Amino acid sequence: MEDDRLSRVFAALADPTRRDIVARLSLGDATVGQLAAPYAVSVQAVSKHLKVLEDAGLVSRSRDAQRRPCHLEAEVFDLMTSWVDRYRRQAQERYSRLDDLLAAMDNEEGAAS
Amino acid sequence: MEDDRLSRVFAALADPTRRDIVARLSLGDATVGQLAAPYAVSVQAVSKHLKVLEDAGLVSRSRDAQRRPCHLEAEVFDLMTSWVDRYRRQAQERYSRLDDLLAAMDNEEGAAS
DNA sequence: AGCTTCCTCAACCAGATGGTTGACAACGCC
DNA sequence: GGCGTTGTCAACCATCTGGTTGAGGAAGCT
């Protein structure tokens, strides 16, 4: 489902190492080895992280001989932001209605006195 | 750190049930019982979900006798969207630079022929 | 063909996660 | 005081997760 995809995107970004990888890829494509270099963990661990990002649709990988260059698919971000914006807007609307109500009560009180 | 907080927010929203709870709370505050009613799971499980959301700063709880009304803290969304926007923008800039480069190459080719 | 480089797959391990049930604290209502 | 309602805490369980090591596939280099 679409639900599943959203869950995978959020879960993928819940890990600091993976967010870091995304940040690096936003500057340009990179191979697994290049991405793994700055971290204390093994290359295999980074490869796993990339698989998670790939399953979430955030990263795609092509071939270049033994190399597997990684590319950020930034459009997937929209899935998240549209979800977030929807409920943020809803909450905000509710607040403004509450403000209206309070304003109306103030008015009534003012008229009564 | 701030990193940790961001991780907790993303992790909290990685679960469909918790996203659903957030969606319901965007329409108005609710008690644990009210939130648990639509689901097949136990009240305890929902209480755990709320604890995760609370630890992430997405939900706050007050007291009303035995009741514990839950309230959505929508400002926390900004933490996420600002992170996302930052790297989306970075990736987009990179693309536009690439476009510039390709345009420049086209020009050169045009001038050479 | 043989060696090295780059990367993935498989098995394993410790700790987190999402669910359960049972006990119990806090409060309103008789 | 006793009872039902509301919610949390604790213990337990199965599964997922992030890490490890070891083996091996794929491709370039000599």
* pLDDT, position B113: 41
Tokens coding B18: 């918790």
pLDDT at A113 over 60: no
pLDDT of B109 > 80? The answer is no
Over residues A79-106, mean pLDDT:
84
Strand (E) or helix (H) holding B61? strand B59-61
Rg value, chain B, Cα: 23
pLDDT value of position B79:
93
User: Which residues neighbour strand D (beta carbon < 7 Å)?
Assistant: A 11, 14-15, 17, 40-42, 44-45, 48-49, 52, 63, 65-66; B 31-34, 43-44, 47, 50-51, 61, 66-69
Q: What is the pLDDT of residues A34-91, one digit of tens each?
A: 999 999 999 999 999 999 999 999 999 998 888 999 999 999 999 999 999 999 999 9
Q: For residue A111, is pLDDT > 70?
A: no
List of chain A residues whose C-beta atoms are within 8 Å of the C-beta of residue B52: none
Whether the per-residue pLDDT at B72 is higher than 70: the answer is yes
CA–CA dist A82, A5 (Å, integer): 14
> How much helix, strand and coil, in percent to the nearest 5, is found in chain B?
70, 10, 20
Give the residue from chain A lying closest to B19, CA to CA. Answer: A7
Distance CA A67, CA B102 (A): 25
On the 0-12 / 13-18 / 19+ scale of CB atoms within 10 A, A15 is: middle
pLDDT of residue B42: 96
Top-confidence residue, B34 or A108: B34
| Contact assessment for residue A80 and residue B87, using Cβ atoms and an 8 Å cutoff | no
Residue type, B1: M
Q: How far is B4 from chain A (nearest CA, A)?
A: 8
Whether residue A2 is predicted with pLDDT greater than 50 in this model: the reply is yes
Q: What's the pLDDT at B14?
A: 97
Q: Is there contact between B45 and strand C, defined as CB under 7 Å from any strand atom?
A: yes
Give, in degrees to the nearest 5, the angle at Cα B86 between B84 and B91: 95
- List CB contacts (< 8 A) between A98 and chain B: none
Q: Is the pLDDT of residue B74 over 70?
A: yes
Q: Nearest residue on chain A to B91, judged by CA atoms?
A: A26
Tell me chain A's radius of gyration from C-alpha atoms. Answer: 23
Structure tokens at B91: 């990736």
pLDDT one-digit tens code per residue, B17-58 = 999 999 999 999 999 999 999 999 999 999 999 999 999 999
Q: Of B1 and A52, which is predicted with more confidence? A: A52
Which of A2, A49, A77 would best serve as a mutation to test chain B binding (most B beta carbons within 10 A)? Answer: A77
- Look at B64 and B22; give whichever has higher pLDDT: B22
Residue A26 has what DSSP assignment? Answer: T
CA angle B42, B16, B31 (to 5 degrees): 50
Gap between the Cα atoms of A49 and A25, Å rounded: 13
